Structure 1
Amino acid sequence: MGLLRDEALSRSADSSYSSNRTMMVCVSALAALALGIGILCALAAGPLHAQCAVEWKIGIPCFDVSSLLVNQIKEWSTETCHGKSQRCLYYLVSIHAEDITATHTTPVMRFVDDITFNLSSPDPDTCEVQGRSVSRSWYAILDSGTNYLNMYNLMRGSGLSSSPTFTESTSDRLCTQFSSTRQNLPP
């Protein structure tokens, strides 16, 4: 009879251990889920991958806008980057009708971003430009505004941002770290 009682106590202890272990696994899974939701909520202020989408309106014909952007990309295709400048390592991939495709490589870490500009003309003297820059690095979430700067530097370098009718439209939801980057740009 003592042997049966020992066996029963052993089963009870195993059952209690198994129940506690199951509860610990459930609590751990819930904690991981809560953490994951917290991280996603924190990132919800921007894209979940380093990228930027911007719309510009410029009071210049699209042919001229295209020429200025293409020339600036070519000018900054140099391998020589002065100081901490990102105004180098651009590469013109293609020009097709109203689309310009390019890449930019960051000078230090050599990350590559894909850039596209789509130009459309609501009237002969105005050009609307849809710009998009996306990091090729699958793991990139935050980029210190690099994808925005990939395009804005071209707008500024080409003189397009100095046009009296130049307007820019984007947000932190469309452009990784846009607000903090834009705030730190010189006037």
Structure 2
Amino acid sequence: MTARALLVAAGFLQLLLFASSAVDPSKCIAIWTFRLPCSGPVGDLVNQLKTWSSKKCRDGPEKCNYEIIKESSQSLEVKHTSPQTGKVMDINFEFAPPAAKSFCKIKAISTSTSKNATSPNDYCILHNPIEASGLTEAEGYQEICNKQKCPSKSSSHCDKKDNALMFTHVL
């Protein structure tokens, strides 16, 4: 698969995100793609989630209390509990090579299971482990996320100095 084919596939995925129905404020969906076999990015993500399983947030607010509930070759079920608000997020990470074994797609869906309307930022709950594991610097990294599929995306800060860098637009 060529880089052009990967860009077309990523563009198609972005169109699917934009074309979907109404905003659901209790959910956040993000997709990341890499020009690497999935074993690398998935292993890095799992290691980061295990590092942040502690109840003490040593790396910053919300960067702890991740609990891997179920792990398989195609997905991870994770629970995150905010140490600040007690809000509980169920997160499903699904991963698969899009069309070739030398590429990887990770799709994350978080769902709030708490009635607590105050946030932590749902987008950051997904993005922080990706960034902390070094995957934002991985070969072929691209993020596909928008405010329609992740309402907190437009107001997220995620400890970034320049949030504009987190937006990836594929034409």
Short-chain TM bin: 0.7 to 0.9
Give me the identity figure in percent. 25
Task: State whether residues 124 and 158 of structure 2, in contact with CA within 8 Å, keep that contact through their aligned partners in structure 1.
Answer: no
* Equivalent-residue separation in structure 1 for 2:110 and 2:62 (angstroms): 14
Task: State whether residues 143 and 176 of structure 1, in contact with CA within 8 Å, keep that contact through their aligned partners in structure 2.
Answer: no
Query: Is the counterpart of residue 126 in structure 1 residue 103 in structure 2?
Result: yes
In structure 2, do the counterparts of structure 1 residues 64 and 183 end up closer, same or farther at CA, with 3 Å as the change threshold? closer
Q: Which runs of 4+ in 1 moved over 3 A?
A: none
Shift of 1:72: 0.6
Shift of 1:154: 0.7
Matches of residues 161-180 of structure 1 in structure 2 within 5 Å? 161-180=136-155
Which of these residues, 113, 136, 140, is aligned with residue 136 of structure 1? 113
Shift of 1:81: 1.6
What are the superposed Cα offsets for residues 111-139 of structure 1, whole Å, 9 maximum, x if unpaired? 11001111010212110111111110146
Query: Is the counterpart of residue 155 in structure 1 residue 130 in structure 2?
Result: yes
What are the superposed Cα offsets for residues 68-109 of structure 1, whole Å, 9 maximum, x if unpaired? 111111000011123852111110111122101111111111
Which runs of no fewer than 5 residues in structure 1 stay unpaired? 1-45
Aligned residues: 141
Query: Is the counterpart of residue 73 in structure 1 residue 73 in structure 2?
Result: no
Matches of residues 26-175 of structure 1 in structure 2 within 5 Å? 47-82=23-58, 84-121=60-97, 122-138=99-115, 140=117, 143=119, 146-175=121-150
* Equivalent-residue separation in structure 2 for 1:109 and 1:64 (angstroms): 33
1 or 2, which has the higher helix percentage?
1
* Equivalent-residue separation in structure 2 for 1:114 and 1:92 (angstroms): 10
Which runs of no fewer than 5 residues in structure 2 stay unpaired? 1-21, 163-171
**SS at 1:151 equivalent:** helix
* Equivalent-residue separation in structure 2 for 1:56 and 1:164 (angstroms): 12
**1:42 alignment counterpart:** none
Task: State whether residues 62 and 127 of structure 1, in contact with CA within 8 Å, keep that contact through their aligned partners in structure 2.
Answer: yes
* Equivalent-residue separation in structure 1 for 2:54 and 2:74 (angstroms): 25
In structure 2, do the counterparts of structure 1 residues 100 and 47 end up closer, same or farther at CA, with 3 Å as the change threshold? same
